[in-house]
Amino acid sequence: MKIVLAPEGTEGDIRPLLALGLGLRDAGHTVEACVPPDFIDSFTSYGIPSHPMSIPVKTFMTMHGGMMTGKTVRTFKPMLACFETVVDGQFTALEQHAGNVDLIIGAGLQFAGGSVAEKRGIAYRHVVHVPIIAPSVYYPPPITRRVVFPRFVNRALWAVYALSMSLLLSQPINSRRRKLGLPPVTGILRFFVRNMHLAMDPELATWPPDIHAPGLSQTAYWQFPDSRELDTHLQRFIMQGPRPVYIGFGSMIDPRPYRSMEIIRTAVKRLGIRAVVGQGWTGMQLQPADDNTLFPVCHTPHLKLFPHMAAVVHHGGAGTMHTAGLSGVPQVSIPHLLDQYYWGNRIHKCGLGPRPLNCARLTAGQLAEAIQQAIENPFYQENAKHLGAALRRRDGVAEAVKLIEQAG
């Protein structure tokens, strides 16, 4: 088959699709990608031809990420401001590069893939790593920090969310659909839930029983097979004492990086432990005096790093959460936005770590207490080990390739 991958979002949306692309290519299929400009090199460096789509994600997050951090409804304000540009860029890229293919696979905030596939008369699959994209009475939509409500409240929240999404997206999407000669979409949310694939292990999340949209499927998570080795200086730091803790927040932007670094430094000092600090997109910087207890990393293979950690402190992104789970270590979640609140709750509910912390009100004392619980509570340690063993028995990419070929 000829397949175009079209993920839109941060690294957690992009890397699983790269993993799938490599799996599909190894199975003999022809794979290309349309991705945000700042992820072109990620695909081309592995030999997958790629084309720029939409706007650079890091630029958007740098401009608006600080405003979005720790918010719920307000998270959508900056996103909405650029929706029209994003949607237009997605349609333009896919119309140009998905003309002679058999399948389009979108992910994250991909809004054009289903319409372009409909026009071409080809199949479309939309990949998610969390079920809360689809309306259900079992959870609220990703606009609330709190994730546990009575079912009637969830139902009402989803009604408001569906109306909001229709008001915000109908015009830019239907404008481009008219140019393609397609009828307008009514009920944007129902339109996007069709043919949705959940790439996440069932121990961590499943489709709830009240979702009956056509074409739903699920496999294990698509872990990217990062072959890089750990930096020798990092390896030396790890071996110099007891297992350190990893603290990092991936693609999140921190509006107060110096304050956050001071919180981390104080918490680590209070516990008398060492930490590997993932700087990511946060802007956090370490000082030379921190070298004995804090080790900074930028782009390091988490699959190689996390098994050496006593615990992993992170933002609640699906990819980081799954990698920590695969590594069999306890977790501390500090959600920043959207589905990360869901994952923070799931981490605690699955017995993998303490309750999630509020990133906007985080203190050194709270962080120290949560880390101490994670590294000292045998309940979290045992559950993390059992989960790691279960996740390592699966190959989500192989499952997905087989599913695609059977449907093809």
Find the mean pLDDT for residues 260-270: 91
Same domain (yes/no): 59, 111:
yes
Residue 149 predicted with pLDDT over 90: yes
Q: Find the domain containing 372 and state its range.
A: 232-391
Residue 310 predicted with pLDDT over 80: yes
- With the C-alpha atoms ordered 53, 56, 58, 62, is the resulting torsion angle positive or negative? negative
Residue 407 lies in a domain: no
Residue 231 predicted with pLDDT over 70: yes
Residue 164 lies in a domain: yes
Residue 390 predicted with pLDDT over 60: yes
Main-chain dihedrals φ then ψ at residue 285, nearest 5 degrees: -125, 140
- What is the reported pLDDT for 255? 67
Residue closest to 319 by CA, chosen among 213, 224, 194:
224
Find the mean pLDDT for residues 70-95: 73
Residue 396 lies in a domain: no
- The structure tokens 């980081």 sit at 320
Long-range pairs for 44-51 at CB < 8 Å and ≥24 separation?
A: 46/18, 46/21, 46/22, 48/5, 48/18, 48/21, 48/22, 51/93, 51/96, 51/97
Same domain (yes/no): 207, 245:
no
Find the mean pLDDT for residues 331-349: 93
Question: Lowest mean pLDDT: which of 104-118, 142-156, 249-263?
Answer: 249-263
Q: Specify burial of residue 336 (Cβ count, 10 A radius: 0-12, 13-18, 19+).
A: buried
- What is the reported pLDDT for 345? 95
Residue 243 lies in a domain: yes
Helix (H, G, I), strand (E, B) or coil at 69: coil
- What is the reported pLDDT for 143? 81
Find the mean pLDDT for residues 361-381: 96
Number of domains forming the structure of the chain: 2
Residue 75 predicted with pLDDT over 70: no
